[in-house]
Structure 1
Amino acid sequence: RKVVPTSDGDETRAEDDSKPGNNPGEEVVAEAEGKVPFGKLYRYASGQDKLLMIIGGIFATAIGSSLPIFMMFFGDLLNIFLNYNKVVACAQFPIPSNASSAKSFMDSLVTSFDPVRVQELVSTSPMYDIAQKAYENGSYTFFFPPSTTLASNSDSGVLNAAFKQMYDDQLGNTVPGATGLDRYNSPLANSLWYTACSFNNSGFIPSMQVAEYLSGTALLPFSGGWNETWLEENPSYPKDGEALKQQAYFYTILFFSLAAAMFIAGYMRMAFWKMAGERQGMRIRQAYFRALLRQEMGWYDVSKVGELGARLSGDPVAIVEGIAEKLGEFIQNTSAFVISIVIAFLQGWQLALVMTTVLPLLGIATFMTTKLMGSFATKSAAAYGEAGAVAQEVLSSIRTVVAFSGENRESEKYSKNLVTAEKAGIRMALVGGLMMSLLNFIIFAANGLGFYVGAIFTNEGVMEGGDVLTVFFAIIIGSFSLGQASPAFAALGKAGGAAYRIFTVIDRTSSINPLSKDGKVPTHTDGEVELKNVVFKYPSRPTVTVLKGLNLQVKKGQTVALVGHSGCGKSTVISLVQRFYDPLEGEVILDGVDVKDLNIKWMRQQIGYVGQEPVLFATTILENIKLGKEDASEAEVWKALDIANASKFVRDLPDQLLTSVGDRGVQLSGGQKQRLAIARAIICDPKIMLLDEATSALDSESERLVQGALETIMEGRTTIVIAHRLSTIRHADAVCVVDDGVIVEVGSHDELMAKDDGKYKALVNAQTGTMLGGDAKDSSGSSKETDSVLPLTGEEESIDGGAKTGVDEKNREETLAVTSATHAIDNEEKKESEKKDGTVLTKPKFSDVAKLSLSEFHVLIAGVLASIIDGVIYPVFSIVFGEILNLFSLQGEELLQRAGFYSLLFLILAAVGGLVGYFQYFCFGYMGERLTARLRRLAFRSILRQDMAWYDKDENTSGKLTGSLEMEAALVR
C-alpha cells in the first residue's frame, strides 16, 4: 500500500487497502523479527513531510557543525593573544646591523633583569664565586674580564676553546650575518648577556631562555636563535595594541553571528522535525485505528483487546519521537562528531591521532549499553501494556467488578504487571548508569592524555598553543556528541520495536474486511437468509465445533425464533449472518448470493441488530443514533426515535438530542438504552432484523415499551429472534430449536408444543414449571407470560455476561433529566459547586510528590550528593581550562611539569565523574521507576474506590482514566 498526498499536499490518505495482499508493508514483517527497518519507518511520510525533514536535517547538520567551527575560530583567536607578546618583543628588538647596535640592545635588556632571579641563577652555577663577586661589585658590563681564566688565556687574553664554542653556539646563531662584528674579541663577549650563559655539565644554557627567566619577559621568537623573517611569515598577527583590538572586534562579531545562526538553526531544526513527526504520527494513529476496525471478530477473540487499545496511546508516541525529534538530535550530534574530528585532524593531526584512540572504547560501550537498554525498554513497555489492558478491562466493566467486590483482586492483578515493568526499568537504570560512568571516565581520561601530549608538541614547536586547544576541544565536543547521539540512536531502536507492533496490525490482511470495496452491491434486497450445511469453530476454541452442519432458511418478511440451551449456537448463527465470521464449511446466503461474494459494508447496512446489552458510546444521543446512518438528518433521527418509543423521554431532557449518555450509556436506564439501540438499528431502514435477547435484561415496564418498539420494526422485515419470552416466541412465524450445533425442530409455537416428546416443549415446561404436555397459559398475558423460556445465554452470546437489575423507568427518566440539567449550568457555577463539595483538586506541591518516595530516601540522598558533586565537576573544569589557557604561554620544563599536573587532575576528574555519573543516573532512575509504579498503583486503587456517580462524569470515562494511568504517571517521573 502507498500513502499518497491529497490535493492540498498536506494531509494524506491511504490507497484502497481492502484487497487481500495489498496491505502496506507486508514485506516489513518478514525483514525483521520484532523491529521495523529504519527506512520503513517513514512509510507514512508525505512529500511535504520529507521536505520538512530534509530541511530540518540541514539545520541539524548546521547546528551540529557550529560548535566545532566556533572552537576552531577560538583557537585562532587564542593564537593571536599568545603570539602578541612575540610581536611586541620583536618590534622593540632592532635587527642588529653591527656589533654596536647588538651590544646596545643587550645592555638595555640587562637593565631589566630581576636581581633576585640573577642571584637565584648564579647561585647554582659552577662559576658561583666569580659571578657572586661580579654581582656584589655591581659589575654588569664586564662579568668575565679578559683576565678570567675561564674566558681567556691569562697570557694572551685570547678566548679559550670553551668560551669560543659558546660564541659559535650562541652569538653566531643569535646575530647571524651582522656586519663588522668580531665574534670572538668584541666587547659584546664580555657583557652580562653571555655571563648569564653559565656553564654546567650538560653544556651552555641557551642564552635567550636565561634572558627570559632573568627579565620575566617572553622572548619566544628568539629562543632558538634570531629569525628576522618571523614577522613577515605571520602577517595576520597584530603589530600593535590597536591592531589587536581590531582583530578581537572581528572575532567578537563573528562569534555573535555564529550564536545568532545557531539560535535560528536550532529553532528551525526543532520546528521542522516536530511538524514532520506529528503529521506522520497522526497518520499512523489513523491507520492503526482503521486497521483495528478492519479486523474480523476471530482476530479479536485471540487478541488482548485492552493491550491493543493501550498501544494507540503509547507506541505512536515512541515512533514519532524516534523518527522525528530524536533523529534530528542524532543528525546534529553525528555531524558535530564528524566535523569535530575533521577539524581536529586539520589543526593538528598528531594530537588528534593520539586522542581518537579512545573512540573505539566509546563506540563499544555505547553499542552494548544501547542494546541492553533497548531490551529492557521493550520488556518494560510490554509489562505496562499488560497493565493497561487490565485497567481498560476493569474500568469498562466497573459495575460488574464492584458488584462482586473484585476491587482488591483486580488491583493485585494490575500491580503484578507493574512489578514486572518496574524491575525492567530498574535494570535499565542500572545499565544507563554504567554507560554514563564509562562515558565520563573515558572522555575525561582521554582529555588528560591529549592535553599532556599537546604540551609536549607545543614545547617542541610542532604545534601552537591555540591549535592544541582547538584539537583538544574538538575531540571533547566530538566525544560528547557521540555520547549524546547514543540515546537518540536508542530511541530509533525503540521506534523500530514500537513500529513493528503497530505496523504488524496495520499490515495484517483481514479475512473479513468491512472497509473493503470489493464484492457485489445489488440494487435491491428482499431479505431472504439461508444457512446451508454450516460447520463452524471459534478461533479461540479450535477444538470445539459449535455448528455441525446447521441448515436454516428464513424467507422474505418471515420472523424466525431460535431457541435452545446455553451454548448451543444460537448467537453464532446471528454472528454468521452478519458475517462476523466465515464458516469452515457450508454457505451463508443472502438473496441467493453467498455473503462472501457481497460487499461487506453494503450487506451490513441491510441488517439491523439489537443485542441483549446495547453498547452506547460516550457521546450525545444524536451521535449515537447517527452511527446507524452517518448522513441522517435530525428529522430522520426523530422519526427513528418515534418508531423505537424513545422520542418522549428524549424530548423531556433539557438538551434533548444533545444529551450526553455517559460512558457506555451509564446515564440511561436499561430500557432507554435498548430503545436508543433500536432507533440506531432502524434508522437506515434495514431489510433484515437480528434480535439477540433484546429484552432479557429488562424489568417488566421497560420490556413492555421495548417489546412494543420491536413489534413495530419487525413488521415487513425478515427477522431472526433469539428470545426467552413466550410473548415473542408465540408470535413468530417459525420456531427453530437448536441443539448441539444443529436445528432439531422447526415449527410454530403451537405446532411444537403439540409434540409430547419434543425438545421445545421440554424447554418450555422446564422454565414454566408446568406438567409435560401442558401449556403455559395466562389469559392476562402479564407476569406468567413473561417468565423465562430459556436461561440467559453465555459464551459467545454475551460480551459482558451479566444481567442488569431493572430500574423504574419513570424515576430513571427523571434522574436523567436532572443530570442533563446539571451539565447545562455554566462553568462558574460548576466551580462554585465543586468548591462546596470539596472536589476541586489543587496542584500538588513538590513536597507532596516527594513524600511518595520516602521509602527510597537513602537512594535520594545518594543521588542528590552525586548530583552536587557532578555539578561541581564542571566549574572545576572551567578553572582548569583557565589555567590551561595561561599554560601555553610557557615553555620548557615548567610547561611540561604543569601540564603533567593538570593531566593528573583530569584523571581524578575522570574517576570522580565516572563514579558520580553512575550513582546519579541509577539513583534517580531507580526512584523514577518506583515512583511511577507507585503512582499508577495508588491511582488505580483510588479509582476503584470511587462511587458510581463519579464514573458517570464525562471526564471520568474508562478511556480517559486509562490514558491518565498510562501517560500522566510517567510524566511525574
Structure 2
Amino acid sequence: MPFMTIIFGDTIDSFGGTVNTKDVVHKVSKMSLNFVYLALGSGVASFFQMACWMVTGERQAARIRSLYLKTILRQDIGFFDKEAKTGEIVGRMSGDTVLIQDALGEKVGKFIQLVATFVGGFVIAFVKGWLLALVLLSSFPPLVISAAAMSIIIGKMASQGQTAYSVAATVVEQTIGSIRTVASYTGEKEAITKYKKSLTKAYKSGVQEGLAAGLGLGAATFIMFCSYALAIWFGGKMILEKGYTGGDVINVLFAVLTGSVSLGQASPCMSAFAAGQAAAFKMFETINRKPKIDAYNTEGLQLDDIRGDIELRDVHFSYPARPEEQIFSGFSLSIPSGTTAALVGQSGSGKSTVINLIERFYDPQAGEVLIDNINLREFQLKWIRKKIGLVSQEPVLFTSSIKDNIAYGKDGATTEEIRAAVELANAAKFIDKLPQGLDTMVGEHGTQLSGGQKQRVAIARAILKDPRILLLDEATSALDAESERIVQEALDRIMTNRTTIIIAHRLSTVRNADMIAVIHQGKIVEKGTHSELTKEPEGPYSQLIRLQDLSTVSEQNALDDQDMLEPMNSVRNLSQQFSLLQSISQKSSEIGNSSRHSFSITFGVPTTSMLETEPIESNAQALAPSQLPPEVSLCRLAYLSKPEIIVLLLGSIAAVANGVIFPVLGIVISGMIKTFYEPRDELRKDSKFWALIFVLLGVASLLAQPSKSYFFAVAGCKLIRRIRLMCFKKVVYMEVSWFDEPEHSSGALGARLSADAASMRGLATSFNA
C-alpha cells in the first residue's frame, strides 16, 4: 500500500501538471502497468500470508490444547480439590483455545502487514516531504493512547467473560454428568437458573467489550480525520511557500493516511490479541504449575518387586482444601505383607485418608508412609502405583467398551490377560451374556451397567496388573444383598497372597480379616482380630457391631410395619443407642483418646434394592455412528434475533452512517486534489473549506462507530446467550436414555456449547464488521 501512494502521486502529477494530451496518455499508461505489477505481487504475498498463518494458528492451538491436557493429567489431587473443576477444564480446552487460535493465526499476519504498512507509509512520507510528514506525525501519540486504552479495557472485559463462561461450563458438566440425579430430583430449573446467571455475567462483559472497541476505533478515526484536515491546510501552505507540487502533497498525505488507517484496521487484531492473551494467561498458569506430586517424574526407586509391608509412622495430615481441619495427628499403623487389614469407624474418622496416603494422592505434612520400610516419596510414582490396585465404593468407568475400561489397568494388556482378570473378578458370566461381550459400550460413567456389574469391571481392572497391594474402599457398601454376595466372592478370590486393606461399611464383611483397626477422629482406638475384639463386650468394635445390628433391625421394622410404629419402642431404641454411644465414648477415653467429643457412630443403614439382573437391556448395544448435523441457514439465526429488532435497526442505521463516510471521503478527496492545482487565491480559501469537511467527517465517525459497535454487541451477545440457554434447556429435559450415546456425553455437549457458541460469536462479530 505505501508503494501505491508513490505511483498514485505520480499519476496525479501526470494529470494535473501536463498540458499535452499525448504526454498524459503515455505517462498514465506507464503508471497503469506499475499498478498491475503491484497487484500481482500483492496477490501472491497475500495468499502465502493467509495460508501460512492459518496453518500456524491451527497447529499452535492443537499443541497448546495437548500440552494443557498433559499438564492437567500431571497435577496432584490437591490441584483438583482447590483450583480446578471439570467443567472449567473442558471450557478452557474447547472455548479458550479458539480464542488463542484466533490470536495466533491469520490475525498475526494481518497485524504484521498493517505494521509494515504503517512504517512504510511514514518512511515514504518523510522521503517525499519531511516537513509535512512531521506535522502529520503529531497525530500519532493520541492514536497510540486510544489504542492502548482500548486494548487494556478489552482484555479486562474478555477475561471477565471467559471466567463467567468457565463457571457456565462447570454447571453444564455437573448437570449432564449427573443427569439421572438431576432428573430424579427435578433439579432442571435450578441448573438452568445457575447457567443463566453465568451467561448474564458473560453478556455484560461482552457488551462492555464491544462498547470499548467502538469507542477506541471511533476515537482513532476521529484523530485520523483531524490529521487529514491539518494536512490539507498545511499542504496548501507548502505549495504556496515551499514549492511542493500537488503530487508531493498527495503522496505524503496518502502515505500518512495509509499508515494511519492501518493502525485503525489493526484494532480487531489487537482485540483478538487481548482476548487470546487473557485466555492464554489462565491456560499457561496451569501449564507452568509445578505439581507437588509429579505423576510424570521418572526419578525414584524401581525395584524388582515389593513384598507389600505397609506402615504409617507418626503421620500428621490435613487436606489442602481444608488445612485448618486436622485429620491425623501422630497416626501410626503397621500392616505386614500378605495380610488383610480392615479399617472401621464412623464417617469422617480418616479411613479413606489412609488409602489416599498409600496411593500417594497426597503427602503427609509430617511423618512417613513406608512400603517395605522405604519412604513412599523415594519410589518412582508411576512404578509404585503399578504395584497398587484400588477399588472404590463408586467405580469410575469411562465412556468406552468393557474391554477398554479393563485395559486401562495395565499398559499393553492382551485379550487373554483381560479375559483372565474377568474370570477372577466373577464378571465372565454377565459379560458373556451381552450381545457384544467385552466390546459392549458401558455408557457415560457406566450407566448401561448395574451397580454390581460396574463393581466387577472395576475389580477386573484393578487386578489386571497383578498388584502386590490391594485397596478396597467400601467396595460393596452401595450394593444390594445379591450383588454384594457376588462381588464379595470375587474379592475373596483376589485377596489371596496380597496385602489388602479393606475400608468396611458392613462389619460382617471383615470378620475374616487378619487385623481390624477401629479408627475414631484420626486415632486407632482398638486393634485386633474379630474374635479378639469381640471378647471385649464394651469395646468400641463390639459396640459398633451391636449398634449396626440395632440400626438394621430398626430399619427392617420400619419397612415391615411403617404405619404402626409405637412411640414407646422409638424411645426405648433411642435410649439403647444413647447407652451404647456413652459406653463407646468411655472406652475410647480409657484407651487414651484425648478428644472432648464422644465417639458417635453414624453408619448408614443398608437399603433393600432390586436383585441384580445379569444381562443388561438390549439398548446397551453398540450405538450407531452419529450423523453429521444439518446446516442451519442464516435466516434461522436472524429469526432468533427477532426480540432485538429495535437494537439491530439502530445498529444498522449507525453502520450505514459509518459506512457512508468513506464513499463521501472519495468525493472530498477528489475536491481536495483539484484544489492543489488551483490558482493561489482559490487554493488558500478552498484548502480551509476541505479541512473543515474532514473534521466534520471525523465527528460523524466518532458518533457512528461506538453506536454501531454497542448496538451490535448487545444484539450479538443476547443472541449467543439465548442460543446457549435454549440448547441447555433442551438438553436437560431430554430423556435420560439420550445421554447414553457417546456423542451426548457431558464432555462432548460441554465442548459443543463452548466452541460452537464462540464460533457464533465470531459470526456476529464479522456481521458487525
Q: Is the 8 A contact 1:736 1:746 kept in 2?
A: yes
Residue in 2 that maps onto 1:521: 302
Shift of 1:700: 2.7
Q: Which moved more, 1:405-414 or 1:710-719?
A: 405-414
Residues of 2 paired with 1:771 and 1:380: CA distance?
Answer: 52
Q: Give the letter for the 2:303 counterpart.
A: P
Residues of 1 paired with 2:67 and 2:552: CA distance?
Answer: 60
Which structure 2 residues correspond to residues 714-729 of structure 1 after superposition, within 5 A? 714-729=495-510
The alpha-carbon distance between structure 1 residues 494 and 970, as it changes in their structure 2 partners (threshold 3 A), is closer
Q: Which moved more, 1:876-885 or 1:682-691?
A: 876-885
Shift of 1:516: 0.9
3-state SS of paired residue (1:562): strand
Residues 343-369 of structure 1: CA deviation (Å, up to 9, x unaligned): 112122232223222222212211222
3-state SS of paired residue (1:696): coil
Which structure 2 residues correspond to residues 558-637 of structure 1 after superposition, within 5 A? 558-637=339-418
The alpha-carbon distance between structure 1 residues 641 and 554, as it changes in their structure 2 partners (threshold 3 A), is same
3-state SS of paired residue (2:395): coil
Structure 2 residue corresponding to 1:375, chosen from 147, 156, 180: 156
Residue in 2 that maps onto 1:927: 715
The alpha-carbon distance between structure 1 residues 251 and 405, as it changes in their structure 2 partners (threshold 3 A), is same
Residues of 2 paired with 1:808 and 1:916: CA distance?
Answer: 71
Residue in 2 that maps onto 1:159: none
Residues of 2 paired with 1:657 and 1:453: CA distance?
Answer: 84
Residues 828-866 of structure 1: CA deviation (Å, up to 9, x unaligned): xx87xxxxxxxx975444343334434433221110111
Q: Does 2:26 match 1:282? A: no
Q: Does 2:191 match 1:410? A: yes
Q: Which has the higher contact order (CA 8 A, sep 6+)?
A: 2
Q: Is the 8 A contact 1:72 1:470 kept in 2?
A: yes
Residues of 1 paired with 2:688 and 2:552: CA distance?
Answer: 109
Q: Is the 8 A contact 1:561 1:736 kept in 2?
A: yes
Residue in 2 that maps onto 1:26: none
3-state SS of paired residue (1:736): strand
Structure 2 residue corresponding to 1:879, chosen from 661, 667, 671: 667
Residue in 1 that maps onto 2:747: 959
Q: Does 2:17 match 1:83? A: yes
Residues 624-653 of structure 1: CA deviation (Å, up to 9, x unaligned): 222111211122122212222223333343
Residues of 1 paired with 2:278 and 2:758: CA distance?
Answer: 20
Residue in 2 that maps onto 1:356: 137
Shift of 1:493: 4.0
* RMSD after superposition: 2.7
Residues of 2 paired with 1:708 and 1:899: CA distance?
Answer: 99
Residues of 2 paired with 1:395 and 1:402: CA distance?
Answer: 10
3-state SS of paired residue (2:471): strand
| Structure 2 unmatched ranges of 5 or more | 554-580, 582-603, 762-769
Shift of 1:704: 2.7
Which structure 2 residues correspond to residues 8-47 of structure 1 after superposition, within 5 A? none
Which structure 2 residues correspond to residues 480-519 of structure 1 after superposition, within 5 A? 480-519=261-300
Would you identify which runs of 4 or more consecutive aligned residues in structure 1 move more than 6 Å?
A: 801-805
Structure 2 residue corresponding to 1:862, chosen from 650, 653, 670: 650
Higher helix proportion: 2
TM-score with structure 1 length normalisation?
0.69
Q: Does 2:75 match 1:295? A: yes
Q: Is the 8 A contact 1:436 1:921 kept in 2?
A: no
Q: Is the 8 A contact 2:552 2:605 kept in 1?
A: no
Residue in 1 that maps onto 2:51: 271
Residue in 2 that maps onto 1:687: 468
Structure 2 residue corresponding to 1:810, chosen from 589, 592, 613: 613
The alpha-carbon distance between structure 1 residues 804 and 489, as it changes in their structure 2 partners (threshold 3 A), is farther
Q: Give the letter for the 1:318 counterpart.
A: L
Q: Give the letter for the 2:323 counterpart.
A: P
Residues of 2 paired with 1:270 and 1:814: CA distance?
Answer: 54
Residue in 1 that maps onto 2:437: 656
Corresponding pairs, count: 711
Structure exhibiting the larger radius of gyration computed from Cα positions: 1
Residue in 2 that maps onto 1:73: 7
Residues of 2 paired with 1:564 and 1:726: CA distance?
Answer: 10
Q: Is the 8 A contact 2:480 2:609 kept in 1?
A: yes
Shift of 1:434: 1.4
TM-score with structure 2 length normalisation?
0.87
Residues of 1 paired with 2:341 and 2:446: CA distance?
Answer: 30
3-state SS of paired residue (1:84): coil
Q: Does 2:37 match 1:257? A: yes
The alpha-carbon distance between structure 1 residues 706 and 576, as it changes in their structure 2 partners (threshold 3 A), is same
3-state SS of paired residue (1:667): coil
Residues 27-62 of structure 1: CA deviation (Å, up to 9, x unaligned): xxxxxxxxxxxxxxxxxxxxxxxxxxxxxxxxxxxx
Residues of 2 paired with 1:764 and 1:608: CA distance?
Answer: 28
3-state SS of paired residue (2:315): strand
Residues of 2 paired with 1:736 and 1:465: CA distance?
Answer: 99
* Identity of matched residues, %: 40
Residue in 2 that maps onto 1:666: 447
| Structure 1 unmatched ranges of 5 or more | 1-66, 89-239, 773-789, 791-800, 832-839
Residue in 2 that maps onto 1:750: 531
Residues 83-118 of structure 1: CA deviation (Å, up to 9, x unaligned): 221xx2xxxxxxxxxxxxxxxxxxxxxxxxxxxxxx
Residues of 2 paired with 1:604 and 1:540: CA distance?
Answer: 24
Structure 1 residue corresponding to 2:208, chosen from 427, 451, 454: 427
3-state SS of paired residue (1:609): strand
The alpha-carbon distance between structure 1 residues 673 and 753, as it changes in their structure 2 partners (threshold 3 A), is same
Residue in 1 that maps onto 2:565: none
Residue in 2 that maps onto 1:9: none
Residues 851-882 of structure 1: CA deviation (Å, up to 9, x unaligned): 44344332211101111222222222223334
Structure 2 residue corresponding to 1:941, chosen from 709, 729, 747: 729
Residues of 2 paired with 1:805 and 1:514: CA distance?
Answer: 41
Structure 2 residue corresponding to 1:440, chosen from 221, 225, 231: 221
The alpha-carbon distance between structure 1 residues 303 and 803, as it changes in their structure 2 partners (threshold 3 A), is farther
3-state SS of paired residue (2:238): helix
Q: Give the letter for the 2:209 counterpart.
A: M
Q: Is the 8 A contact 2:449 2:616 kept in 1?
A: no
Q: Give the letter for the 1:703 counterpart.
A: E
Residue in 2 that maps onto 1:322: 103
3-state SS of paired residue (1:573): helix
Q: Is the 8 A contact 1:370 1:487 kept in 2?
A: no
Shift of 1:570: 0.7
Q: Which moved more, 1:335-344 or 1:466-475?
A: 466-475
Q: Give the letter for the 1:957 counterpart.
A: S
Residues 105-159 of structure 1: CA deviation (Å, up to 9, x unaligned): xxxxxxxxxxxxxxxxxxxxxxxxxxxxxxxxxxxxxxxxxxxxxxxxxxxxxxx
Residue in 2 that maps onto 1:146: none
Residues of 1 paired with 2:246 and 2:752: CA distance?
Answer: 57
Residues of 2 paired with 1:330 and 1:678: CA distance?
Answer: 57
Shift of 1:917: 1.0
Residue in 1 that maps onto 2:691: 903
